[in-house]
Each structure stands twice: as structure tokens, then as C-alpha cells.
Structure 1
Amino acid sequence: MKRLCRFWLALILALTLAVCLSACKKPEVPTEGTVGTTDPEPLEPPEPPEPPLPISPLTGLPMEEGGSPVVVTIDNNPRARMQSGLARADIVYEVLAEGGITRFLALYHSQSPAVIGPIRSARPYFALLAKEWGAIFGHCGGDTAGLNLIRELGVLNINEFSHGDLYWRDSRRVAPHNLYTSVELLRQFVDTPLPDPEPRYEFQDWSEDPVFGLRISYPFFGLQYVVEYHKAEEGYTRHVTDTSGTYMQQDLDTEEVILTSNVVVQWAPHKTIDSEGRLSIDLIGEGKAMYLLGGRLFEGTWKKPSADEPTLFYNQEGALIKLTPGQTWIQIVPSGTEVTELKGPAT
């Protein structure tokens, strides 16, 4: 009996010792290539950052498109309002035509609206402006002096009379105030894109201490513009009063209010040259200028030495003006045109 008890006691002690030794044993570390080893997942290389968009030489803003510069003559007869595509132009000139009605010359480079117009005829001063931008010039006919100057200056022009396939008529309006085109249609006219416009100005933020705006009154024509600055949108709207009434300029198709960052007033000699009321506007030389830049008012001068050189705008110290990034509207007015600064807080 005692032998049996010793046997069981020895067995229990042996088992206890075995368990303790097993618990104290170091775990085996798997070596490379043994079962249970997992290789780390390969890391995907990070995507390269998007390259920055190029900066428009005309607006100072990033641009996604670009292409051959295009200018078009746009109608401003009361029957042509509202216009299409003006809100997306980089630069808009407004110049008097005969009969006390203005026309626009819209310059496109960084944007390409699908509808622009109504398109009207060329005048010599439009040909001169198209030449200095090296742009494709879209128009519908023109007076004799305008067509002659286009040929003399070698302006690359697309006249609807000879290239009707690049224009169309809109049945919502009555001719001649219903002719339209698009920037891309006119660009198809050239096999090789034209060079980008040369940068003329630097850009900076002028938004501190804004003034209210300007009132521009054309003598003898019953035209008046109120250019009003909106601080929240950092731009100017244009309220126009003429013989047809008062309206604010906006786009026909998008109903987008035209909001421009810079307003330039350029005084130049105007002279009536025939019984039709056609005008000669002297844009070669120099004269007085006024600038609304991001809410601030400056005075200065403009200079254009010859037909082959650009029009440049200077401040009173003789330095080139610096524009606010965005659209620029250039109002070419007769010498003696009254321009009044509007006092009051910017809205």
C-alpha cells in the first residue's frame, strides 16, 4: 500500500515539474522563410501633385483653356440686348459707333464661350485694337475705311460675308441683330494656333478702402453709365441709361450679371466724318485716363506710339498700372466726356 502511494506521489511531482518547465521555455522566433512568416505589403508610390495651371496674361488668373486670341465686334443696339458671352471675355472695349450707340470689342483667350454675339460690322478703330492683340478678328462686313485698314494692317479677320459657315442666325431676334458665333468656331479658321498675347501688366489686390464708383455721361448722346463697386463680390456692375431706358448689363443665356474687376476710362479725340454719323477716333498718340481698380480710383495717361505698338496705361508717376486679377472693361470716350466719382460706402 505504501509503495502504491509513493508511486502516485512521484507521478504527480513529475507531471507538475514538466508543466512548469514547459511554461518557462522561450517561444521559438520564426526565421525568414518558415511557416507563419508574412511579407509586408508593398507601398504604392504617392501620386504626383497636379501641375499648377498657367496664369492668363490678360486676367492674372489661372486658366484651364487658352488658345488663339479672338476679338469680335458685338452689337449694342437696343434690339441686340442682352448680349451673349461678354461676361466671359478677358477684356471688353466699349466704343461709340454712329447714331450715338456704342459697340463692344470683346477679347477672348482664357475662356471659350459657346455663344458670342450679336456680331456686327468692323470700324477702323476696331481693326486697330485687333491688330495690337495679334488676334483673330470676327465681324460681319464693315465700312470702307474699316475694311481697308484691316487689309492695310494685315489683320487676320473672319468676315461673315465670306465665311458664313462659321456664324449662325438666331430666330429669337430680327436681323441684323441676330448673328452669332463661338470662340472655337473662329479658332478653327487657323491651322496653327496663334501666339498667346504678350503680358502687359502686373496684377495685385487693390481691394482696401474702396470707393463707391463712377458716373460716366456722354455729351450729346443721352448716354449715362453708373459703374458701382460691390465689396463682397470684389467687382463692378454697370447700370446703363439711354433713350431706351435703364438696365443693368448681364448675359442673355446664363443671366449672369457682368461683374468686372477693373474699369479703365480712356479719353480720345472723336470726329464725325460723314452724313451717316460715322466717327474717326484717334487711338494713336496719348491722352488722359482714369482707373477703377478693385474699388480704388486712380488717374493717369495712355500712350500708343504707332499702329504696331500696344496701348499702355500709366499712373500719375509714369509707371504702368497694376490691375486687379479678373476682367478689364475699357471705356473709350470722347474728349470732354464728364466722369464723376460717386461718393459713399461700397456695397
Structure 2
Amino acid sequence: MTTFVAPIDPPDSADTELDEVVAEILRLDPDGSRWAAVVRHTYDMIYNGAETGRYRWDQLMKTEKTHFGTLFEINAQREFGFDGGDETDYRIAGHQVDAKWSQKKGSWMLPPEVFGRLALVATGNDERSEWSLGLIRVNAEYRSASSNRDMKSTLNALGRSKVHWIWHEAPMPSNVLLQLPRATVDAIFELKAGTQRTNQLFRVAEGQLVHRSAVRTVAMQLDDQKRVRKNGGARSALAPEGFVILSGAYHRRIAVDLGVPVPNTKEYISVRVVPSDDSNGALIDGAHWRRAMADEISTVCAPTPTHGS
């Protein structure tokens, strides 16, 4: 399970509006888990893996990369219900706030309408499964001297140092396709059928959290549950090999008892199990099971966890 962190306390500030916006953001999301989910969802939207099979930033076209910031702004507004601003994207705690995303930290493009106002600046790195969110008052002394044809400018070195980070390089739900070796993922995509690709993903990602978007991407199908469930899905196919596939919606206790990362409601985890000689491990379908060791051969068909277990 992704462990979210307490926010970074921003330095004492004479900017009352900034302090009030920070306080409202923390009231809505004390540990950053909702913001982390927004970033994860935005990456998954821009990849559109169910239709394209893409899962990496370098697979995107330039126009798609540029569109990421707009999607991030929209997804955050949907998640938190921020009011729209007059000239800025949001109104938070009654104050005008513009939302800016940059894949490279510090490279936010700031338009004239945000000069002198508050900017909510964000960045992320999907390969490292991390994201950052901060606030900055875009004062003249914080802006670079040069600008582009739209009169947009970036923060200078002083401005970058003045960002009040609320969360900095905080964890977000990972993209398992970026955690596995590239050759392993390439081999998955070489399989012709979506069912085969899904089964192989759960084989090679044993013990790792698999977000439902990764299942959709390798299956190239929107219905990830169909590819996972026991009747014709990966649960049925992999049970003879000793694998159980746990859902964060129903099987969190089993994950804890097996000693593996605990999935959230949008994640799965596959675990290769063997019968346990004692009461250690997890109680599944009336019997005790433990996680198999790497060199241990599975000779017994794995059980199928019920939704209530």
C-alpha cells in the first residue's frame, strides 16, 4: 500500500492569503492521498492505455504532453470542488489561485493574469512514483526577465526557492509497468491476446501492487475486472500455478496476513501461495496458506478468495 506523508509545513509567511489557501488545501486532504490520486489518474488519462497500450511519458506526442496540465487542472477541480476564479483557474478559501503543472520542476509557464497572484505549482515523475505541490505568490522579483510571445515567464532562481511546498516528492500509487524491467514488459506486449498479456502481468508482478489502469493497458480493454475475475479471467488461469489475485476492495486482510503490500480499492496484487502447516499465514476458503518462497514449487491449486474474506 502506498504510504502517504504529512505535509511539509511552509515557512512563516507574511502572506495571509497564501496561508489561508494552504490551510484549506490541508483541510480537504490532510495526508495528500487525494492529490496523489489526481496525479495518478491524470497520467493514466493521458496515456489512454486501454486504447493505445501506452504507459510511459516518452510514448506521448508533444501536444499530449502539453495537454497534461489542462487535464490536471480539470481533475483537481472535480476532485475538490474548487470554485472557478475570475481570471485564474480556481478560487480557494476565497482567493484567486492559478494551477500550473510542469513535468520538469521549476519550469512552470506563468501568464500575465497570474502576475501578483497565487499559483498552485505541481510536478511529478511517474518512473519514481512521486509528485510535488506548492504555492507561490508570483511577484515581479520572482519572475525571469525573459518571456515568450504570449508574455508568459518562468520563475527565476529566487522564485523557485520561494515556493512554499505543501508536499515535496511525496509518493503516489505506482505504475507497475514502469517498475518492471523494460524487457519483461516488452515481452508481455508481444503476446497476441489480451487474456495472455493480463495473465503474464500477474505472473511477473507477483508481490507488487498492480493498478487497475495497468491491467487495462496490457489487456487493451476498459473492463479490468473481467480480465481478473475467476470465471475466465486471470484468477482462474493462474490458480493451478499457485497464484491468488487479491483486490483492495475485498481482500485487504488476506494481503496483511500474507505479508505483502496492501492494495487500495483501485489496485490488485498477485501472490503465489502454498498450504501452511500451521495457523500462520492467511485463512482462505477454510484453509491456511502462506506466501511461497522464490525457489518453492507450487503443486497445489490456489484457493479463490471470496469477496467477503
* TM-score, normalised with respect to structure 2: 0.27
**By percentage of residues, which structure has more strand?**
1
Q: RCO higher in 1 or 2 (8 Å CA, sep ≥ 6)?
A: 1
**By percentage of residues, which structure has more helix?**
2
* TM-score, normalised with respect to structure 1: 0.25
Higher CA-based Rg: 1
